[in-house]
Amino acid sequence: MIFINILSIPSPCTRPEAPVLRSLVLLMLVVSVLVTSEARAEFYKWVDRDGREFITNEKEKIPAEYRHTAKPVEVRDDRVSVGQQPVAADKKTVKVAEHKDRYGRGEEYWNKRAENLRRQIREQQDELDLIVQQEENDRTKPKSKSKKSNSRSAHDKKKAKIEKKIARLKHELDVQLPEEARKADAYPGWIR
């Protein structure tokens, strides 16, 4: 209806270009209406020979060997957000179930196991540092030869025992726990 009214407006111009100008204005109006209307792009999904999934909105970007297998993807407005607007604000959010390992244990379990091992390593390291400090103090004190050798061998035995325990705990933290988590299908980040 609007277009008919625009065409029927008498032109103050009496030049021969007036109908061309009127047509040009009409064309620009139609183009602007089409451009500002809601644009819906087609999206296509395909899977390559390695099993990786790809999605694009330009059919020309799909490799020629996969064009025949590409399928259109439905775009749902309730799942898309633009800018700061929340997705489907009027609908209730769906709570995603927390991932558990094969035995029903979650992230908290694995975090506690790893943190317990780290705590034990710190405690053993503190004890080792204390023995080294006692050893330093014993060296500075004048004592008889027999007491020095007995105290030195006692310190060496304690240090060796603690160093062995630290090595065992580090192996458990760095090798055994990640392997156990992998076998239980726990996320690797849970033990970091």
Q: What mean pLDDT comes out for the span 54-65?
A: 86
The per-residue pLDDT for range 65-90, each reduced to its tens digit, is 888 888 888 777 666 666 666 555 55
What was the pLDDT predicted at 75? 73
Pairwise CA distance, residues 178 & 170, whole Å: 12
Residue 50 has pLDDT above 60, yes or no: yes
Residue 182 has pLDDT above 80, yes or no: yes
Q: What are the extents of the domains in the chain?
A: 43-76, 107-191
Q: Do the beta carbons of residue 177 and residue 113 sit within 8 Å?
A: yes
What was the pLDDT predicted at 168? 95
Rounded to whole angstroms, what are the CA distances from 26 to 6, 37, 123? 8, 17, 83
Pairwise CA distance, residues 172 & 163, whole Å: 14
What was the pLDDT predicted at 67? 85
What was the pLDDT predicted at 1? 46
The per-residue pLDDT for range 110-145, each reduced to its tens digit, is 999 999 999 999 999 999 999 888 888 877 877 655
What was the pLDDT predicted at 173? 92
Residue 60 has pLDDT above 60, yes or no: yes
Half-sphere exposure of 102 (CA within 13 A, CB side): 6
Phi and psi at residue 11, to the nearest 5°: -90, 135
Residue 169 has pLDDT above 80, yes or no: yes
Confidence bin at 30 (pLDDT 50/70/90): confident
